[in-house]
Structure 1
Amino acid sequence: MLSILGFSMIAVFMYLIMSKRLSALVAIMLVPIIFGVIGGFFTELGPMMQEGVEGIASTAIMILFAILYFGIMIDSGLFDPLISKILKIVKGDPLKIVVGTAILSMTVALDGDGTTTYIITVSALLPLYKRLGMNKIILATVAMLSMGVMNMTPWGGASAMAMASLNLDASQLFLPMIPVMGFGLIWVLVVAFILGKGERKRLGVVEIQHNHTNSEANSELAATTVSRDYRRPKLVWFNFILTIVLMASLIIDFMSLTILFMIAFAIALLVNYPDLKDQQDRIAVHSKNALAVVSIVIAAGIFTGIMSGTKMIDAMAITLVSFIPESFGPFLPVIVAFASAPFTFFMSNNAFYFGVLPIIAQAADAYGISAAEIGRASLIGQPIHVLSPLVAAAHLLIGLVGTDFGDLQRFAVKWALGTVTVMTIAAIILGVI
């Protein structure tokens, strides 16, 4: 009975958010409460929900300050020298331009926000693509491939949801994935080289005046990102060193990610914007993005708390295990790695990570496979997810580049599937899954 109730709850939840009858934020709180009442757990729901929210509070705080930190870095102009350097190096060589696109989009995507990544990358490089007559779909494809890998960071969305739904912390889920992401990024550079070489063969190397192009690109960048009043060019090296120290600290794992990001954000805000009014303005600018991600993660505590507290997740897992052939059990992580691609393409990350993933993780437990291993595998399909029409940032990218969604998907899907395959193989070889 609990199994039927649980699967029914998942079905209703997925239907409501995919049909846009309810927002994910509302559905993820109200649907489990309703089904908890139907299951006869009315008097026990309070403690269940409280336990679920408390379990993911640290993750939500970490995501909040990570988004704010990278927002400050973008505002202050940390990436401006990189953009200028890339534009200076690539000149009129299509091969260098496409590889430069990959490097820039990877770097900017550190903040985990597709919207920011696409705006900065397209604004900086689209003028070059237009001037040389290069295929603009290549620009969109390379930016999406970079975002697909970098979206696996704990503050990028997918990892945050996986941590929340499986009650894991970043050291369990994300840190082992760093070398896997490295292989994914190498693959993106390989794809950029292949596509760029094709464009160089088609167009040749064109002599252009760097200064004019650089000025044009930078003017578009300034118009689409942040006012130049908030740039801090004299603090670029300080911000760069601070970010490197932060990244190194994350890898060393000597302190929780939550505390590290809180401290780094406080230092960055104080040094770059000592004036209180400027601090308030910068926080206000980025609070919208932060609120959108953090609120859904906190709300997920109700969902996971009720799923665990009522034992619905256990009953569903037992049912699911009964349908899995015994010989397939040990290969569940690999199956999940590839299955997460179509799952997250046809449904939102919310639906997959909060609706499907906990069930798979519980089923995998019967074969001695940890929830962390299943969680890592579930992230590998993100390069396909970013191509989904359900992703709002993808529509922004289409508008910025001026191409058709269907054309982009047909062009990019094979390269995105290649990213998934490379990362899956790397994860197996490295023992991550």
Structure 2
Amino acid sequence: MLSILGFSMIAVFMYLIMSKRLSALVAIMLVPIIFGVIGGFFTELGPMMQEGVEGIASTAIMILFAILYFGIMIDSGLFDPLISKILKIVKGDPLKIVVGTAILSMTVALDGDGTTTYIITVSALLPLYKRLGMNKIILATVAMLSMGVMNMTPWGGASAMAMASLNLDASELFLPMIPVMGFGLIWVLVVAFILGKGERKRLGVVEIQHDHKNSEANSELAATTVSRDYRRPKLVWFNFILTIVLMASLIIDFMSLTILFMIAFAIALLVNYPDLKDQQDRIAVHSKNALAVVSIVIAAGIFTGIMSGTKMIDAMAITLVSFIPESFGPFLPVIVAYASAPFTFFMSNNAFYFGVLPIIAQAADAYGISAAEIGRASLIGQPIHVLSPLVAAAHLLIGLVGTDFGDLQRFAVKWALGTVTVMTIAAIILGVI
């Protein structure tokens, strides 16, 4: 009965989200409560939910301050010199332009926000694509491929959801994935080189004199609509060093990611915006994005708390294991790595990571495969996920570039699948899955 109740709950949850009957935030809290009551657990739900929320509190705090930190870095103009440098170097060479697109989008995507990444990348480079007559779908494809890899960061969404649903911390789930992401980014550069070489062959190299004023205009346009008053060009090196130190500290793992981002954010905010009014303005600007992500992660604590506390997840796992051939068991991480691509394309990350992943992880436990390993494998399908029409930022990109969604998907899907394959192979070789 618990298994039937659990699968019914997942089905209702996914239907309500995908049909847009309820928002993910509301569904992820109310659906498990209703099914918990139906299952006869009414008096026990309070402690279950409390335990679930407490279990993911640290992850939610880390995501909040990571979003705020990278927001400050973008506002202060950390990426402006990079944009200007790329525009100066690429000039009229289609090959350099496409590779420059990859480098810029990878860097900006550090904040984990597809909207910001697409706005900056397209506004900085679209004029060059138009001037040379280059294929604008290439611009969109390369930006999406970069976002697909960088979306695996804990503050990007997918990792946060996986950590919340499996009750893992970033050191267990994300840190082992860093070298895998590195191989993914190398693949994106390879794709950019191939596509750029094709455009160079088609169009040739056009001599364009670098116009400093135009470069500055493009840089300002790419500045995510932030007023020039908030730019801090004299602090670029300070912000760069602070970010490098932060990234190195994350890898060394000598302190929790939550504390590291809290400290880094406090330093960045104080140094860049010592005036209290400016600090309040910057926090207010980024609070919308932060709230959208953090609220769903905290709400997921109710979902996971009830799933675990009622033992529904255990019953569902037993049922699922009974349908998996014994010989397939050891290969579950690889299966999950590829299956996560279509799963997250046809359904939202919320539905997959909170509805499907916990069941798979529990089933994998029967074969001695850890939840962390399944969680890492589930992230590898993100390059396909960003092509989904369910992703709001993808529609923004289509509008910015001025192309058709179907054309972009047909052009980009093979390269995105290549990213998934490269990262899966890398993960297996490195022992990450």
Are the equivalent residues in 2 in contact too, given 1:123–1:224 (CA < 8 A)? Answer: no
Q: By how many angstroms is 1:404 displaced? A: 0.2
Q: Would the alpha carbon gap of residues 212 and 239 (structure 1) be closer, same or farther in structure 2, given more than 3 Å must change?
A: closer
- Distance in 2, matches of 1:196 and 1:268, equals 37
Q: By how many angstroms is 1:215 displaced? A: 3.3
SS at match of 1:223: coil
Q: Would the alpha carbon gap of residues 212 and 246 (structure 1) be closer, same or farther in structure 2, given more than 3 Å must change?
A: closer
Are the equivalent residues in 2 in contact too, given 1:94–1:199 (CA < 8 A)? Answer: yes
SS at match of 1:224: coil
SS at match of 1:279: helix
Are the equivalent residues in 1 in contact too, given 2:74–2:223 (CA < 8 A)? Answer: no
- Distance in 1, matches of 2:404 and 2:34, equals 41
SS at match of 2:211: helix
Number of residue-to-residue matches in the alignment: 433
Q: Would the alpha carbon gap of residues 222 and 95 (structure 1) be closer, same or farther in structure 2, given more than 3 Å must change?
A: closer
- Distance in 2, matches of 1:430 and 1:253, equals 19
Q: Would the alpha carbon gap of residues 219 and 364 (structure 1) be closer, same or farther in structure 2, given more than 3 Å must change?
A: closer
Regions of 4+ moved over 3 Å: 212-217
Q: By how many angstroms is 1:311 displaced? A: 0.1
Q: By how many angstroms is 1:216 displaced? A: 6.9
SS at match of 1:154: coil
SS at match of 1:210: coil
- Distance in 1, matches of 2:222 and 2:118, equals 14
Identify the residue that residue 410 of structure 1 maps to in structure 2: 410
Are the equivalent residues in 2 in contact too, given 1:222–1:228 (CA < 8 A)? Answer: no
Q: By how many angstroms is 1:220 displaced? A: 5.9
- Distance in 2, matches of 1:220 and 1:252, equals 35
- Identify which range, 216-225 or 275-284, moves more after superposition: 216-225
Residues 172-227 of structure 1: per-residue CA shift (max 9 Å, x gap): 00000000000000000000000000000000000112116843752662574311
- Distance in 2, matches of 1:428 and 1:219, equals 40
Are the equivalent residues in 2 in contact too, given 1:67–1:290 (CA < 8 A)? Answer: yes
Q: Would the alpha carbon gap of residues 57 and 137 (structure 1) be closer, same or farther in structure 2, given more than 3 Å must change?
A: same
Are the equivalent residues in 2 in contact too, given 1:180–1:423 (CA < 8 A)? Answer: yes
SS at match of 1:321: helix
Are the equivalent residues in 2 in contact too, given 1:341–1:384 (CA < 8 A)? Answer: yes
Are the equivalent residues in 2 in contact too, given 1:18–1:348 (CA < 8 A)? Answer: yes
Are the equivalent residues in 2 in contact too, given 1:166–1:358 (CA < 8 A)? Answer: yes
Are the equivalent residues in 2 in contact too, given 1:125–1:217 (CA < 8 A)? Answer: no
Residues 133-190 of structure 1: per-residue CA shift (max 9 Å, x gap): 0000000000000000000000000000000000000000000000000000000000
Residues 102-156 of structure 1: per-residue CA shift (max 9 Å, x gap): 0000000000000000000001000000000000000000000000000000000
Are the equivalent residues in 1 in contact too, given 2:345–2:387 (CA < 8 A)? Answer: yes
Root-mean-square deviation (Å): 1.0
Are the equivalent residues in 1 in contact too, given 2:184–2:422 (CA < 8 A)? Answer: yes
Residues 29-50 of structure 1: per-residue CA shift (max 9 Å, x gap): 0000000000000000000000
- Distance in 1, matches of 2:18 and 2:95, equals 40
Q: Would the alpha carbon gap of residues 244 and 284 (structure 1) be closer, same or farther in structure 2, given more than 3 Å must change?
A: same
Identify the residue that residue 113 of structure 2 maps to in structure 1: 113
Are the equivalent residues in 2 in contact too, given 1:127–1:213 (CA < 8 A)? Answer: no
Q: Would the alpha carbon gap of residues 222 and 189 (structure 1) be closer, same or farther in structure 2, given more than 3 Å must change?
A: closer
Are the equivalent residues in 1 in contact too, given 2:68–2:265 (CA < 8 A)? Answer: yes
Residues 266-316 of structure 1: per-residue CA shift (max 9 Å, x gap): 000000000000000000000000000000000000000000000000000
Are the equivalent residues in 2 in contact too, given 1:119–1:225 (CA < 8 A)? Answer: no
- Distance in 1, matches of 2:296 and 2:42, equals 23
Residues 41-99 of structure 1: per-residue CA shift (max 9 Å, x gap): 00000000000000000000000000000000000000000001100100000000000
- Distance in 1, matches of 2:199 and 2:92, equals 11
Q: Where do 5+ consecutive residues of structure 2 fail to align?
A: none
Q: By how many angstroms is 1:256 displaced? A: 0.1
Are the equivalent residues in 1 in contact too, given 2:120–2:222 (CA < 8 A)? Answer: no
- Distance in 2, matches of 1:325 and 1:257, equals 39
- Distance in 2, matches of 1:306 and 1:337, equals 27
TM-score (norm 1): 0.99
Identify the residue that residue 129 of structure 1 maps to in structure 2: 129
- Distance in 1, matches of 2:343 and 2:273, equals 43
Are the equivalent residues in 2 in contact too, given 1:87–1:214 (CA < 8 A)? Answer: no
Q: By how many angstroms is 1:260 displaced? A: 0.1
Are the equivalent residues in 1 in contact too, given 2:83–2:219 (CA < 8 A)? Answer: no
Are the equivalent residues in 2 in contact too, given 1:127–1:217 (CA < 8 A)? Answer: no
- Distance in 2, matches of 1:251 and 1:399, equals 37
- Distance in 1, matches of 2:270 and 2:216, equals 32
Are the equivalent residues in 2 in contact too, given 1:9–1:32 (CA < 8 A)? Answer: yes
- Distance in 2, matches of 1:78 and 1:223, equals 10
- Distance in 1, matches of 2:403 and 2:219, equals 22
Are the equivalent residues in 1 in contact too, given 2:56–2:298 (CA < 8 A)? Answer: yes
Are the equivalent residues in 1 in contact too, given 2:329–2:364 (CA < 8 A)? Answer: yes
Q: Would the alpha carbon gap of residues 216 and 243 (structure 1) be closer, same or farther in structure 2, given more than 3 Å must change?
A: closer
Residues 222-250 of structure 1: per-residue CA shift (max 9 Å, x gap): 57431111000000000000000000000
- Distance in 1, matches of 2:30 and 2:293, equals 18
- Identify which range, 221-230 or 271-280, moves more after superposition: 221-230
Identify the residue that residue 23 of structure 1 maps to in structure 2: 23
Q: Would the alpha carbon gap of residues 241 and 275 (structure 1) be closer, same or farther in structure 2, given more than 3 Å must change?
A: same
- Distance in 2, matches of 1:314 and 1:217, equals 57
Q: Would the alpha carbon gap of residues 222 and 335 (structure 1) be closer, same or farther in structure 2, given more than 3 Å must change?
A: closer
- Distance in 2, matches of 1:224 and 1:252, equals 32
